[in-house]
Amino acid sequence: MAGGGLWLLLILAGLGEGEAASSTAQALFVFGDSLIDSGNNNNLASLAKANYFPYGIDFADGPTGRFCNGYTIVDELAELLGLPLVPPYSEASTIQQVLQGANYASAAAGILDDSGGNFAGRIPFNQQIENFESTVSQIAAASSSPATADMVARSIVFVGMGSNDYLNNYLAPNYDTRRHYSPQQFADLLVGQFAAQLTRLYKAGARKFVVAGVGSMGCIPSVLAQSAAAGGCSTEVDGLVQQFNAGVRAMLDGLDGNLAGAKFTFLDTFRIFKAILANPAGFGFSVVDRGCCGIGRNGGQITCLPFMPPCADRERYVFWDAYHPTAAVNVILAREAFHGAADVMAPINVQQLARL
């Protein structure tokens, strides 16, 4: 074994000892869209970018490509797991950088490759998986040891996909998807593809999966701004989301029973969002129907423009812009994922999953 490989083996062995002592995951690998992208779109020819102020106004490093004022769900989750914030894959140039994880998420990405096409450049879930496979191969080649498989198997894999398959495909006026699929047929199409993709991650070595459902998209400022009647969430859009989420939960149960050694758990973001919207004051919020940073009706017709000043009291807002929650909501979602009971994290929470 080359000197570099021996060094890597020692690092992997050390991570294993630390994991046993702290009962946390060795690494966090992230797949998804703009809700958890941390900068992978920055250098793409894409309209889906957030590497400019006021994005990142409350983040220590300023605008990084996060579609938020501060932390995303996976930023808070990394801290709860005792890990550093995982770097975007596009900036993780060495194996050492990904030993504690990497973020492959890309704004406008979908389960289906053609979702999000209106934004041009993006990294669909299939390509994100290819990037992960490349990462695992690089680590394995450097270590030449079973320690690589053990490290990946002990890591948490967080997957949050599906929003763009609806907002920027099924519901997009320039897509003809709705003419070819009923809501249930489209949900079935997505869930079938999703199952194959998660199985591919399993074959690459992943074993501990956290799969986030799609949140209440019927209540986001962009959808509210398009409503003919003022006030109220779109029951049609939320109905689509609920069909998809129900299919995903059933699919995960099937994978859990069929893929040896794997554990899948579901984060019910829809339920958490509905709880926040039903009792915003109880969660510390007072503005639930408009973006803190945006233009037009509900602050949802045009999202944050470069250098536009956001609202001053953003910790009181549920939504940061036309599509994305504030950091305050993301922290709640992450803490529910980590500590939550079976009504929001089924069958186990992230803390329990990390200890398996």
Residue positions counted in the chain: 356
**Statement: residue 1 has pLDDT above 50:** no
Give a yes or no: residue 12 inside a domain: yes
At 17, list the tokens: 């000892």
Name 13's Cβ contacts closer than 8 Å, sequence gap at least 6: 147
Residue 231's pLDDT band (cuts 50, 70, 90): low
Give a yes or no: residue 262 inside a domain: yes
**Statement: residue 311 has pLDDT above 60:** yes
pLDDT of residue 144: 61
Residue among 2, 4, 28, 3 nearest 15 (CA): 28
Give a yes or no: residue 70 inside a domain: yes
The single residue of 37, 150, 289, 321 carrying the catalytic annotation is 321
**Statement: residue 21 has pLDDT above 90:** no
Give a yes or no: residue 127 inside a domain: yes
**Statement: residue 88 has pLDDT above 90:** yes
State the residue range of the domain holding 102.
Answer: 3-52+65-217+235-280
The number of distinct structural domains making up the chain is 1
> Helix 73-80 vs helix 327-339: angle between axes, to the nearest 10 degrees?
40
* One-letter amino acid for residue 303 of the chain: T
Give a yes or no: residue 350 inside a domain: no
- Residues 123-148 have pLDDT tens digits of 999 999 999 999 999 888 887 667 88
- Residues 260-271 have pLDDT tens digits of 999 999 999 999
pTM score, two decimals?
0.93
CATH of the domain at 256: 3.40.50.1110
Give a yes or no: residue 345 inside a domain: no
Q: Is 339 a catalytic residue?
A: no
Give a yes or no: residue 307 inside a domain: no
The single residue of 37, 46, 75, 324 carrying the catalytic annotation is 324
pLDDT of residue 8: 43
Average pLDDT score over residue span 314-328 = 98
Angle among Cα 95, 96, 98 to the nearest 5 degrees reads 70
Give a yes or no: residue 314 inside a domain: no
Q: Is 34 a catalytic residue?
A: yes
The single residue of 34, 90, 106, 163 carrying the catalytic annotation is 34
